[in-house]
Chains A and B, each alone.
Chain A
Amino acid sequence: DTGVSQDPRHKITKRGQNVTFRCDPISEHNRLYWYRQTLGQGPEFLTYFQNEAQLEKSRLLSDRFSAERPKGSFSTLEIQRTEQGDSAMYLCASSLAMRPNEKLFFGSGTQLSVL
């Protein structure tokens, strides 16, 4: 399988716990994006990387969220001190092209439930 993979597919946690998600992009893709999606809404941009550099982060993103892409390959998204409002699907996408509106390839997401 050469697509974008995300792990885990599902995560249930208690409020206040920390969680970490992993994304493995398509190997030759240099851009990696994280999105969050709640039921009935479109994906909401969180952050993106160009290789290992985090180039943009949503102004709406809480300081409890952090993302890394240490070697320009896989990425992790960590949420500290989770809250019930963090319950959502977390999507990772990767792309190769450099121009705006490049084609994104998405993973199947990690569904987070905060109890």
Chain B
Amino acid sequence: LAKTTQPISMDSYEGQEVNITCSHNNIATNDYITWYQQFPSQGPRFIIQGYKTKVTNEVASLFIPADRKSSTLSLPRVSLSDTAVYYCLVGDRDSNYQLIWGAGTKLIIKP
């Protein structure tokens, strides 16, 4: 059963870069790593996805080391509106690759 481990919560300040690390020691060879963001009373929203090395889009960067046993979501220059729960997911090889969601990381941005 593929699982991920990430911090329960993090605090930061506006304008800072925030890095959230996720460990996934049992990631399958063909699994991708996907991050979602969720605001209260809304469904999760896709942020970024990667397989190896580095991926960057207009919202975030994702760093994946060569062994792929962890990944780091990097949010540049956060604002108050980045306060949300962030989920790191990999596919579950035992359940037709359905995503298994943990409790995520609650990120609080302070002024």
Contact = CB atoms under 8 A, between A and B. Distances in A.
Contacts of A105: 46
Interface of A: 4, 35, 40-45, 48, 55-56, 89, 91-93, 100-101, 103-109, 111
Interface residues of B, number: 26
B103 A40 contact: yes
Contacts of B89: 101
Contact of A111 (B41, B87, B98): B41
A56 B41 contact: no
B32 A108 contact: no
Given A42-B103, A103-B49, A48 B98 contact: yes
Interface of B: 30-32, 34, 36, 41-46, 49, 87, 89-91, 95-104
A64 B42 CA distance: 25
A61 B110 CA distance: 39
23 contacts: A4-B43, A42-B87, A42-B104, A44-B101, A45-B101, A48-B98, A55-B96, A89-B41, A92-B43, A100-B31, A100-B32, A101-B32, A101-B90, A101-B91, A104-B36, A104-B44, A104-B46, A105-B46, A106-B43, A106-B44, A108-B43, A109-B41, A109-B43
A56 B44 contact: no
Contacts of A101: 31-32, 34, 49, 89-91, 97, 99
A107 B43 contact: yes
Contact of B103 (A41, A45, A108): A41
A40 B40 CA distance: 10
